[in-house]
Amino acid sequence: MAAEALQIAAALLILACFLLAQAGRVAPDSYRYLVPNVLGSGILTVTAVGDREWGFVLLEGVWSVVSAHGLLRLLRARTAELVD
């Protein structure tokens, strides 16, 4: 039961960000979009591995990596601004 609640919460994080981005209220390259996506997809990836749901491992794993890459790019740009 707790695992299902965690999965639902993680999915809601991802979906809320997606809906807000589609509505133009959150930029897809912002912290407000990327951080919840990394957290939500990371949680779903881990639970999918535990359940041996390989299609979801692929889907959420790629979503997690792409979101993490975007977040790292944003952090590097922010760091470069502070250094200059």
What is the token pair recorded at 48?
A: 């999918």
Q: Residue 30 is which amino acid?
A: S
pLDDT on residue 44: 97
pTM: 0.89
Q: What is the pLDDT of residues 40-66, one digit of tens each?
A: 999 999 999 999 999 999 999 999 999
| Residues spanned by the domain of 48 | 2-83
Helix axes 31-51, 54-83, angle to 10 degrees: 150
Structural domains counted in the chain: 1
Residue 13 has pLDDT above 80, yes or no: yes
Q: Which residues contact 36 (CB under 8 A, 6 or more apart)?
A: 13, 14, 16, 17
